[in-house]
Structure 1
Amino acid sequence: MDAFFASVEQRDDPSLRGKPVAVGGGGPRGVVAAASYEARKFGVRSAMPGAQAVRRCPELLFVKPRFDVYASVSREIRAIFRDYTDAVEPLSLDEAYLDVTGAESARAVAEEIRARIRETTGLTASAGVSYNKFIAKLASDQNKPDGLCVILPGKGPAFVASLPVSRFHGVGPVTARKMERLGILTGADLRDRDLPFLQAHFGSYANYLYGAARGEDHRPVRASRISKSIGAERTFSTNISAEAELAERLAGIADAAWARVERARVHGRTVTLKLRHPSFETITRAKSFAEPIATRDAFLAAGRFLLAGQLPVPNGVRLLGLTLSGLVAEAERPQPALPL
């Protein structure tokens, strides 16, 4: 995501748009948690003391962080990711690796995800597409904000060689200064050092650096958690207010969500409807059941019941979602006792 915390604040408060904004504290002991792109032009960065940030940008506007809001938006974005792959490895609230191996076009997937994030959240995201995690991460920063960078396998080593080592994921300020003392400023400089040299100076980290300098990274994308819920949602190109059309769209969303439920081999007891108005106000309504929901028809019926409670919607709906939670594996589901 592009300047995630600051962008959320600018989205929710129109008076902040186009202005230098820092999320955090501006007092003597305050720290910048995130800075808008307008603030970054003055050299304001995350983790910078608030007083220093004000000296660099006297017009800087500080807002208190709202981590519950950022986490909620992050969950919306990850729900979009999981419409394309279950292999999602979050790095933080605003960043994740996705393995889309098997897609006809990884570029097209990235473009579609970026478009859906914009439509769903009103925020922009940048994407890097490549054949391994290391280069995809580098590429994601290449054309920020609101950009896309694709590095094909044959171009990977040259791309890495051209970059300063300070851009490498995992090379922090301390390591970068150490490399500078050793005359290593770019990926090409790092590539020119042999493995024994790197081992002597960087220990167990040397093997990673040696491969990275050559565009190699064999780490798989690892999904970090077992899903607590499974669902699907869709943002519509035009707002929908007709009840019949909303019911039809909800059925398609239920189909997409239930396909994931069946793939995960789970059942759940709670159905949640998500509805977003054109103003970006988001409403969720849930209903829990004594027994796990075992069929798509029952899942959709619960969703339609929840939707009926929100009708009519004279201004229309821009997003609709349906989620199943309270999950249990099929093997763990209690079986009814046989009659004697």
Structure 2
Amino acid sequence: MSNVYGTLFKISTFGESHGPAIGVVIDGCPPGLAIDEAFIQSELDRRKPGQSKITTQRKEDDVFKILSGVFEGKSTGTPIALVIENQDQRSKDYSHIAETFRPSHADYTYEAKYGVRDYRGGGRSSARETAARVAAGAIAKLLLRKHNVEINAFVSQVGDLAAPHYTTLDLSKTEDNIVRCPDPSTAESMIALIDQVRLDRDTIGGVVTCVIKNTPVGLGEPVFDKLHAELGKAMLGINAVKGFEYGSGFEGVKLRGSQHNDEFYNDGGRIRTKTNFSGGIQGGISNGEDIYFNVAFKPVATIMQDQSTVDKHGNETTVSGKGRHDPCVVPRAVPIVEAMAALVLADFLLRDKTTK
């Protein structure tokens, strides 16, 4: 089972949803980086459950402890081990699916592949694991800060409710509401929709848009390790993600080349593009413009309604969700998307230094 991500800035996560703890080992972080523990905690707080009426009510403080790799507030260059204890597991909520496969979950495929599974909250396949990624991503963000790279994600769509294009929005307002949409009027409608879906004992999907500013020119490789390909891999590795597009994405097919090409110009000695349909990446390599992409999340698979399924013996049966679950995952997915983007950028930043 693969639990490792990255080439030079590398992470390995561990733990299960209802085990004693989850955590991450970060290998390749350069020595001398100031480790701002308050910032790491603030990133975890953005992802943790129980933060509003439109998220799961599982109560986890997600307080972390650094076990190694940091001395007197700075990284030593050795592996950074970080652990987060689980506090509010209710494993009994999952006893009814010990031998039953939930629709659109990893239950069947996991058991078919490994012959065993931890049915308590999905075990290793649970989105609880992403807390470890957010902690690692926070350290990657601290590294990127030294290079003035900014990563901002926000909820751009819930169901059929969509916010305006990011270039018209003030992304500093993303955290001003519980749905994490920087457009106030759209946010209000999104919150009402999610709350109604929750009352209907159902779930709904959405889109998280991510914008990366001040990326150095030259990150990424021209063949198999294209920057956008690695971002796509990172995003598609997040639970519940069903789609990834960057730049003009699928909308670009409606344009002609004469409309879609990003023409260059000289901006006081800096080469820029007049438009940015390329999404800040050309030939798999960053060109210095904003990198922007969309990540589509499906409706949460656990719903509080009866559904048809089978058990591990092939017997047809029904199953209904129990416990505490998000009616819409995208508000809590925002920091996860940022974290994975930060891990990609930090890794490519270090890889770029080895070629110069």
TM-score bracket relative to the smaller structure: under 0.3
Using the size of structure 1 for normalisation, the TM-score is 0.25
More helix, by proportion: 1
Using the size of structure 2 for normalisation, the TM-score is 0.24
